[in-house]
Amino acid sequence: MNRRDFFKIVATSGASAAVAGGQRTTENILPLVVPNEQLVPGVAAWFATVCRECPAGCGVLARNREGRVVKLEGNPDHPVNHGALCVRGQAALQGLYHPDRFVGPGVPEGRGVRPVSWESARTQVSDRIAELRKSGQGRAIAVVTQLENGSLGALLDTWVQAMGARPRVTLEPFGYEALRAANRITFGRDAIPYHAFEDAEVVLSFGADFLETWLSNVGHARGFGRMHAFRDGRAGTFIHVEPRQSLTASNADEWLRNAPGTEGMLALAVLKVMVAEGLADRRFAETVAKVDVARVADQSGVPVERIKHVAEVFGHARPGLAVGGGVAVSGGNATDTLVAINLLNAAAGNIGKTVRFGPDSAYGRVTPYAEVVQLAKAMERGEIKLLLLGPGVNPAFTLPGGLKFADAIKKAGLVVSFASLPDETTALAGLVLPDTHWLESWSDYSPREGVMGLLQPTMSPIRDAKPMGDTLLAIGRAVLGTEEGKGPLPWGSQEQHLRSVWEPLVKTEWATALRQGGAWKEIAAAPVAARPVAVEAAAASLEGDPGGFALLAYPSFKFYDGRAATRAWLQETPDTMTQAVWDAWVEVPAEAAAKLGVVTGDVLKVASPHGALELPAYVSPTLHARAVAIPIGHRYAPYHVPRYVAAPPTPTNPVALLSGGAEPASGGAIYLGVSVTLAKNGGRRPLAILQATHDQQERELARHVDLRAAREEALRGRREPEEPISMYPEKQYPGYRWGLAIDVDACVGCQACVVACQAENNVAVVGKPSAAYGRAMHWIRIERWAEGRADHPTNLFLPMLCQHCEVAPCEPVCPVFAAYRTDEGLNAQVYNRCVGTRYCGNNCPYHVRRFNWFEWEIPAPLEVQLNPDVTVRQLGVMEKCTMCIQRIVAGKDGAKDEKRAVQDGDIRTACQQTCPTQAITFGNLKDDKGAVVGLVRSPRAYHVLDELGTRPSVTYLKKVVRDHA
């Protein structure tokens, strides 16, 4: 029996019982046709696979219920992400169940396709290829895919050769060509090394947004957490250099706001000081001979003493880690800048320690942007007669406007797309042959040397889609006139090819590989020597009005290059810094805004030599005065549900403003290359900003403690709990008493928990208007509280969820006992009983209770994703965080099966499970040896608004701030 048959289930008894709403008169319950040892209705099956939402390639476990994947979790065994996932990974399910997914092969029309049969579609392509080959125009066939470095990549390349097409182009908008070029120059290696954040004492980042999108954000966040979070008296230091206070920057102990494009000279200045102070390898002295620290300070706007201080700190680190990346390090001087940073690392002796060549990143395999430009030119000249676009690429959207790729595509004969969702590119395609979603596919992907991730179907396809490999093999054989098993393309399917590649690798270990989601081994750091090359790191030059603002077009941590923008969950996930949802914006420095007379929400015309955008302004006190910033990746409304989702009225893609030129040294795309002008157009487009203010008005919601004080306290060890004062007898907890501990110091504000909770607890999406009007439904939210100077604040990230108070204000006011305290210390909310007086919502001082103002729509087939263990709430009921009661129930049930009590770690809430920095800990407050009790007794522990005497079961640990000199 073949694997697909496993999933021949429609739905099983009870699965629908969870879905509330109007009454159903009759209801069918459908058994399996064929019994299936792998799936028991009502019991989850887990399948290991690899996340393909971005090239980081994190390991994923897919939770399958009744034959449908309902939740994704990080694979704890996977060396890249160790069990954590980011927002995009968590939201991948919405790509799988996206209402707009192509129903099958066809010709694009509107948001769908005019269906054609697979046969005719394939023949159309194979005929075209055949005739091109006949006329000797094989080179007129171009294949563009996302980064596929595994067996699929190999298969594609074989196919390309067999067809005699031009070499395959792997298109990744963020290709890090400059990193490779710099490494070629300094170390003679065309590769992107592994950056061991976890082993660094000091991290010095030049614009690298490694907590958002840079290379492998989940892995980096985890490493950063281990390196930076305060743990038994020790904590690393993180210094960040960027013109804009990005999410990463606001996690820095020290954020230096530099003039855009001056990172390189700063790196050299730091090196110069280090050399002078004898903190660096003398061999590098001459590389910085010509550097004048004072001039650098003057150009970059970073004062000399700051530079000296940074050199001081970084120089003493054993080891430190300097990284460069992000938009500010992708200007015309990108390579020079990164060379400078390499020198810094080399001089500080970090190579081989925190910068390890050997376990090189997959990004090293990306086709340099320069070749994409070549392809565009060829298309422009009409040399391309057949263009095959793999899934995950959307050149019409992601490539710089100056390149005019969209126009070029129109000139490229037949365009065939394998995308599964309509986008700007499929709109230009002549034919769509939808690929299966990666959760439905056999494939593999190697995020870095030594890690081979294995993808397996976690459920049967919900649409008439076929793996790209299968389709191409069929087409190829049709062209070559060979049949299966013979010729250059003998494999019957992508799966067969995959097995043929893996068998020699894993031999008998195939089952293990499947179970653990791949195969991996440690790769030792290769010894590399750094050449002390002299480098002249001038400031990046900008095209356009010299009086204008440097445009920082930075990748959004929610949407990456835009491929994730179709996920409603992500659209409604607040951007942590602005707390804005749904719409894009242009971040304008406060001074400029004042000059223009612009307030947040006013529409601004942002014009560059290559195009113009109209976007609502977000006035930022922190942004560098000479820069404006626009997030990349904001795209059309995910799907069209009347009341909820309105498409942004105008284009929002800053990439359209870029020149499209490539950096000569590396051939990488230039993201920092234009200066733009701003003009008020009089209109308003209010942003949906969820947080009313970032000033906590001395209410000490998010608290911090000085590092030195924290150390001293830590030495004194556990704090014994003081007896609460009460007129009433204390409540007794016969069995367990659940509680959460949240380390504000560890939280980096990545929002992963928000989306994880949304996926786990069937939390509804409400759309921009409702969200803007305080009707967002998130059970957990990440608040940003800014302390200190407005233009240079210290940001505290406070994950806020139901505090499960022991003396809960919400409970006694409920007229029907819908809210009450369970014997396990939870603040329960019984939906059946709720009448919707909303009294509890008023009386909750934390305002974490969410009311169902409407019957929120869940467009088909998204309802398949709903977690059958959690009720879908009817309109008119109050809901809130349950501490994942369904997981507690399951955990206790499991323990009962083993005839034992629940132990620490048996139960993990969705937010805890996905947190890359392990800021959240769930456990039994009565278990003195348990992890949570250790944290609750920590000297840093406190309760939000504890002066109200609510006695929450959620304990917070103060953020540890370094006292800046």
Contact 340, 224 (CB under 8 A): no
Q: Does 641 bind other proteins (CB under 8 A)?
A: no
d(CA 222, CA 755): 18
By CB under 8 A, what part of segment 780-799 binds other proteins? 781, 783
Alpha-carbon separation of residue 511 from 358, 405, 446, 502 (angstroms): 28, 44, 19, 11
CB burial of residue 137 (10 Å; 0-12, 13-18, 19+): middle
User: Which segment (51-59, 74-82, 889-897, 910-918) binds other proteins by CB under 8 A?
Assistant: 889-897
> Which of 156, 269, 878, 902 is the binder for other proteins (CB under 8 A)?
878
Rounded to 10 deg, the angle between the 293-300 and 263-277 helix axes is 150
In 827-875, which residue ranges form alpha helices assigned H by DSSP?
839-843
Q: Looking at 850, 908, 943, 962, which residue binds other proteins (CB under 8 A)? A: 850
Whether 342 and 530 have beta carbons less than 8 Å apart is answered as yes
Using CB under 8 A as the binding rule, whether residue 24 contacts other proteins is answered as yes
| 554 vs 561: CA distance, rounded Å | 9
Nearer to other proteins, 274 or 690 (CB): 690
Q: Is there binding between residue 845 and other proteins (CB under 8 A)? A: yes
DSSP state of 525: P
Among 164, 876, 904, 946, binds other proteins (CB under 8 A): 876
User: Does residue 738 bind other proteins (CB under 8 A)?
Assistant: no
Residue 647 or 816: which CB sits closer to other proteins?
816
CB 668 within 8 A of CB 400: no
Binding region for other proteins (CB under 8 A) out of 87-95, 229-237, 623-631, 824-832: 824-832
Nearest to 155 by CA among 516, 537, 469, 559: 469
Decide: is 289 part of the binding site for other proteins (CB under 8 A): no
Among 455, 877, 910, 925, binds other proteins (CB under 8 A): 877
Under the binding rule (CB under 8 A), the answer on residue 808 touching other proteins is yes
Yes or no: say if 98 and 639 are a contact pair by the CB < 8 Å rule. yes
Does position 806 bind other proteins by CB under 8 A? yes
Nearer residue to other proteins within complex by CB, 497 or 784 = 784
Which of 3, 832, 901, 928 is close enough to bind other proteins by CB under 8 A? 832
With binding defined as CB under 8 A, does residue 508 bind other proteins?
no
Q: For the CB of residue 946, give the shortest distance to other proteins in the complex, in Å.
A: 12
Closest Cα to residue 470, out of 489, 446, 454, 444? 489
Candidate ranges 370-378, 706-714, 868-876, 956-964; the one touching other proteins (CB under 8 A): 868-876
Token couple for 350: 């970090």
Residue among 135 and 726 whose Cβ is closer to other proteins: 726
Least distance from other proteins to the Cβ atom of residue 460, Å:
13
Among 2, 22, 511, 546, binds other proteins (CB under 8 A): 22
Looking at the Cβ atoms of 39 and 750, the one nearer to other proteins is 39
Q: What interhelical angle do 494-506 and 468-480 show, nearest 10?
A: 110
According to DSSP, the residues that pair with 237 across neighbouring strands are 202
Q: Which stretch binds other proteins (CB under 8 A): 306-314, 375-383, 748-756, 828-836?
A: 828-836
Question: What's the min distance (Å) between Cβ of 927 and other proteins?
Answer: 20
Q: Residues in contact with other proteins, total (CB under 8 A)?
A: 109
Phi, psi (rounded to 5 degrees) for 692: -65, -40
Stretch that binds other proteins, among 11-19, 124-132, 387-395, 667-675 (CB under 8 A): 11-19
For the bound state, the minimum distance from the C-beta of residue 831 to other proteins, rounded and expressed in Å, comes to 5
Binds other proteins (CB under 8 A): choice among 822, 863, 903, 946: 822
Give, in order, the Cα–Cα distances in Å from 541 to each of 206, 554, 718: 18, 18, 55
* Of the residues 283, 896, 900, 964, which one makes contact with other proteins according to CB under 8 A: 896
The nearer residue to other proteins, 294 or 835, going by C-beta atoms, is 835
Per CB under 8 A, which of residues 690..729 are in contact with other proteins? 690-693, 695-699, 701, 726, 728-729
773 binds other proteins (CB under 8 A): yes
Among 2, 23, 136, 507, binds other proteins (CB under 8 A): 23
Confirm or reject binding of residue 842 to other proteins (CB under 8 A).
Answer: yes
Residues 653-692 that bind other proteins (CB under 8 A): 690-692
Among 594, 790, 816, 901, binds other proteins (CB under 8 A): 816
User: Which of 853, 863, 931, 937 touches other proteins (CB under 8 A)?
Assistant: 853
Tell the smallest beta-carbon distance from residue 447 to other proteins (Å): 36
Residue 302 burial (C-beta neighbours within 10 Å; 0-12, 13-18, 19+): buried
> Could you give the CA distance from residue 832 to residue 850 in angstroms, rounded to a whole number?
16
Q: Any residues with CB less than 8 A from the CB of 347 and at least 6 apart, and which?
A: 271, 274, 275, 280, 281, 283, 284
- List binders of other proteins among 941-960 (CB under 8 A): 945, 948, 951
Instruction: Specify the stretch interacting with other proteins by CB under 8 A; choose among 325-333, 401-409, 746-754, 876-884.
Output: 876-884
The stretch near other proteins (CB under 8 A) out of 12-20, 123-131, 315-323, 381-389 is 12-20
What's the order of all strands across the beta sheet hosting 443-448?
A: 443-448, 451-455, 518-520
Q: Applying CB under 8 A, which part among 348-356, 360-368, 751-759, 806-814 lies near other proteins?
A: 806-814
> Does residue number 869 form part of the binding site for other proteins (CB under 8 A)?
yes
The C-alpha atoms of residue 931 and residue 946 are separated, in whole angstroms, by 22
Q: Counting every residue, how long is the chain?
A: 965
Q: Which of residues 26-85 bind other proteins (CB under 8 A)?
A: 26-36, 40-43
Binding flag, residue 800, other proteins (CB under 8 A): yes
One DSSP character per residue, 869-912 reads TSPBPPTT-EE---SSHHHHHHHHHHHHHTTS---TTT---HHH
Rg of the chain over all Cα atoms, to the nearest angstrom: 28
Please name the amino acid found at residue 645. Answer: V
The three-state secondary structure class of 665 is coil
Pair 37, 70: CB distance under 8 Å: no
Which of these segments, 486-494, 738-746, 814-822, 905-913, binds other proteins (CB under 8 A)?
814-822
Interface with other proteins (CB under 8 A), residue from 681, 893, 900, 928: 893
* Residues within window 300-329 making contact with other proteins, judged by CB under 8 A: none
Give the burial class of 522: count Cβ atoms within 10 A of its Cβ; 0-12 exposed, 13-18 middle, 19 or more buried: exposed
- The rounded distance, in Å, linking the Cα atoms of 875 and 943 is 32
Q: Which residue of 115, 349, 490, 841 would you call a contact of other proteins, by CB under 8 A?
A: 841
In whole angstroms, give the CA distance from residue 723 to residue 253: 36
Phi-psi category of 949—alpha, beta or left, where left has phi over 0 and alpha has psi -120 to 50? Answer: left
- Token code pair at residue 74: 């990080």
Please answer whether residues 106 and 417 qualify as being in contact, where contact means their C-beta atoms are separated by less than 8 angstroms.
no
Question: Any contact of residue 601 with other proteins (CB under 8 A)?
Answer: no
Which one among 871, 912, 921, 953 touches other proteins, defined by CB under 8 A? Answer: 871
Among 114, 486, 521, 838, binds other proteins (CB under 8 A): 838
Report if residue 25 touches other proteins, rule: CB under 8 A: yes
Taking CB under 8 A as the binding criterion, the range among 324-332, 386-394, 705-713, 800-808 that sits at the site for other proteins is 800-808
User: Measuring CA to CA, which residue among 196, 295, 302 is closest to residue 242?
Assistant: 302
Choose between 715 and 889: whose C-beta lies nearer to other proteins: 889
- At 828, is the secondary structure helix, strand, or coil? strand
Closest approach, Cβ 78 to other proteins, in A, equals 29
* Residues 186, 338: Cα–Cα separation, whole Å: 9
Nearer to other proteins, 71 or 477 (CB): 71
Query: Measured from the CB of residue 61, what is the shortest distance to other proteins in angstroms?
Result: 20
**Alpha-carbon gap, residue 416 to 125, rounded angstroms:** 8
